[in-house]
């Protein structure tokens, strides 16, 4: 009888790898996760389009924001960390609902093959030998709407619907994770040895089921585990920053409440280096149910706030946009307060958060003036100011971007790639975009 071939992956599955994945797999690989560029993480905050009347800053001093629009007023709390960008057109700005251009850079004619920037970055990180337990974490409440609407995440033309349940997301992120923070040296060493002991016990149990050749190979694995055990005992207690397993959330009936829980889960996943790429989606391209008694505000963002809101000056949309801006500011503030595991600063110092939209002018279903908010730590990648910076290209609601202007929204997505240490953009976005480079003025 032919014995099954032993591989490192198979051995670790047999030996309970779920218990050791986060602290030990990089040691076994000999290739720990490391930073690639000026930041090492990115969060895509994805919502429907908005209107310039409620988004564009109302007063500027050069490229500094003097007064925020009421629809973005909560961004003032993080103004020193943000850059607002508008006036950048997609390649085909009138393609309408469900067009993949927002995160993919290509339109309907390529719908069966496009990949969104989150997936492109995730693949590039893996190619650079930067591995985390979850390559790309996609969350967002689209419950009951997935069959009738599209989201912005795509891989080779396939829609990637995010995890809607915070409880499911929690189990996906932390189900097999063992944090090492908040323990003394003795307790930490005991945990390290106990985990190695589990592997050794499983290896011993396997010995009786293997032939001579396989037992020899397994013995070499066992010897390597003992070497790791010795190294771990010699390692000083390293600071683990703010890596903790949060309490398991309870799913809410309100999708916006679920998304706040998703934001907290993403921050904790970043703190534990479980992922370097995350995305959150609010509803889909057709529908987002809004139920915010505290404002108060209720209705459907698409049908009630966007397409029937012009006569009231988009008052309901402005209220909801301000709420979304508050959620964006919330997650940025959380990243500002959480420590890096290596003591190098706060999570935001090594994270780029980008607010992306499917339309620039939602009532017209146009992408002539796409809008972004980018947030990050000071002196890392973004060129920020104490007042908040504003950049405007030449695209407007009145008409298309002039040919050859170079003001294409894809370039902002390339800024995100650039921030993550990716300099070759082949395989992402419009192959005809020339020059294929990040947008000027965003980076330091």
Query: pLDDT for 342-399, tens place per residue?
Result: 888 999 999 999 999 999 999 989 898 999 999 998 778 999 999 999 999 887 655 5
Q: Taking a C-beta distance cutoff of 8 angstroms, is the pair 431, 410 a contact?
A: no
In the chain, which segments carry CATH 3.40.720? 36-180+243-419
Q: What is the pLDDT of residue 242?
A: 86
Q: Taking a C-beta distance cutoff of 8 angstroms, is the pair 73, 321 a contact?
A: no
Alpha helices in 38-80 (DSSP H): 52-55
Average pLDDT over residues 440-444: 95
Compute and round to an integer the Cα radius of gyration of the chain: 24
The residue with greater pLDDT, 67 or 434, is 67
Look at residue 158 and tell me whether its pLDDT is greater than 50.
Answer: yes
Q: What is the pLDDT of residue 231?
A: 55
The model's pLDDT over 269-311, given as tens digits with 9 standing for 90+, comes to 999 999 999 999 999 998 999 999 999 999 999 999 999 988 8
Share of the chain above pLDDT 70, in %: 75
For residue 59, the tally of other CB atoms under 10 A from its CB is: 10
Q: Which residues contact 400 (CB under 8 A, 6 or more apart)?
A: 89, 93, 368
Paired residues of 374 in beta bridges: 83, 354
Name the most confidently modeled range: 130-134, 140-144, 322-326: 322-326
Look at residue 6 and tell me whether its pLDDT is greater than 50.
Answer: no
Look at residue 233 and tell me whether its pLDDT is greater than 80.
Answer: no
Q: What is the pLDDT of residue 35?
A: 46
Average pLDDT over residues 396-403: 53
Parallel, antiparallel, or unpaired for β 370-376 and 82-88? antiparallel
Q: Which CATH number fits domain 36-180+243-419: 1.10.10, 3.40.720, 3.30.420, 3.10.20?
A: 3.40.720
Terminal Cα distance for the chain, rounded: 63
Mean pLDDT check: name the lowest of 207-221, 285-299, 309-323, 339-353: 207-221
Confidence label for 221 from pLDDT (cuts 50, 70 and 90): low
Counts of helices then strands in the chain (DSSP H, E): 11, 13
Q: What is the pLDDT of residue 142?
A: 80
Look at residue 442 and tell me whether its pLDDT is greater than 80.
Answer: yes
Q: What is the pLDDT of residue 210?
A: 72
User: What residue has token string 């959620």?
Assistant: 327
Look at residue 131 and tell me whether its pLDDT is greater than 90.
Answer: yes
The residue with greater pLDDT, 78 or 223, is 78
Look at residue 108 and tell me whether its pLDDT is greater than 50.
Answer: yes
The residue with greater pLDDT, 308 or 417, is 417
Confidence label for 143 from pLDDT (cuts 50, 70 and 90): low
Name the most confidently modeled range: 8-17, 87-96, 204-213: 87-96
Q: What is the pLDDT of residue 257?
A: 97
Q: What is the pLDDT of residue 24?
A: 30
Mean pLDDT, all residues of the chain: 83
Rounded Cα distance between 102 and 19, Å, is: 38
């Amino acid at each position: 009888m032919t014995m099954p071939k032993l591989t490192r992956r198979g051995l670790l599955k047999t030996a309970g790898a779920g218990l050791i994945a986060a602290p030990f797999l990089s040691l076994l690989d000999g290739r720990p996760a490391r930073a690639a560029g000026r930041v090492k993480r990115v969060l895509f905050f994805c919502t429907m389009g908005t209107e310039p009347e409620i988004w564009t800053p109302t007063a500027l001093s050069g490229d500094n924001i003097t007064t925020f629009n009421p629809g973005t007023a909560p961004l003032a709390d993080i103004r020193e960390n943000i850059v607002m960008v508008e006036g950048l057109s997609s390649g085909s700005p009138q393609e309408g609902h469900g067009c993949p251009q927002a995160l993919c850079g290509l339109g309907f004619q390529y719908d069966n093959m496009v990949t969104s920037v989150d997936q492109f970055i995730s693949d590039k990180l893996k190619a650079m030998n930067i591995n985390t337990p979850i390559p790309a974490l996609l969350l967002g409440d689209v419950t009951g709407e997935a069959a009738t609407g599209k989201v912005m995440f795509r891989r080779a033309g396939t829609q990637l619907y995010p995890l809607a349940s915070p409880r499911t997301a929690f189990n996906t992120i932390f189900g097999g994770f063992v944090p090492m923070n908040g323990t003394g040296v003795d307790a930490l060493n005991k945990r390290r040895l106990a985990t190695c002991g589990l592997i050794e016990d499983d290896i011993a149990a396997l010995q009786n089921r293997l032939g001579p050749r396989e037992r020899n190979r397994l013995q070499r694995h066992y010897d390597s585990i003992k070497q790791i055990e010795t190294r771990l005992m010699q390692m000083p207690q390293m600071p683990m920053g703010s890596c903790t397993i949060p309490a398991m959330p309870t799913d809410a009936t309100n999708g916006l409440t679920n998304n706040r829980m998703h934001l907290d889960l993403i921050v904790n996943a970043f703190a534990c280096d479980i992922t370097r790429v995350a995305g959150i989606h609010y509803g889909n391209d057709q529908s987002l149910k809004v139920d915010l008694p505290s404002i108060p505000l209720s209705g459907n963002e698409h049908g009630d706030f966007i397409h029937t809101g012009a006569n009231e000056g988009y008052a309901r949309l402005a209220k909801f946009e301000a709420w979304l801006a508050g959620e964006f500011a919330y997650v940025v503030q959380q990243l500002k307060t959480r420590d890096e595991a290596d003591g190098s600063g706060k999570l935001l110092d090594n994270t780029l958060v980008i607010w992306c939209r499917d339309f620039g002018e939602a009532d017209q279903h146009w992408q002539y003036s796409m809008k972004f908010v980018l947030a990050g730590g000071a002196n890392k990648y973004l060129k920020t100011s104490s007042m908040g910076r504003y950049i405007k290209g030449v695209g407007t609601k009145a008409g298309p971007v002039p040919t050859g202007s170079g003001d294409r929204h894809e370039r902002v997505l390339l800024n995100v790639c650039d921030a993550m240490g990716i300099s070759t953009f082949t395989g992402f976005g419009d192959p005809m975009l020339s020059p294929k480079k990040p947008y000027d003025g965003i980076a330091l």
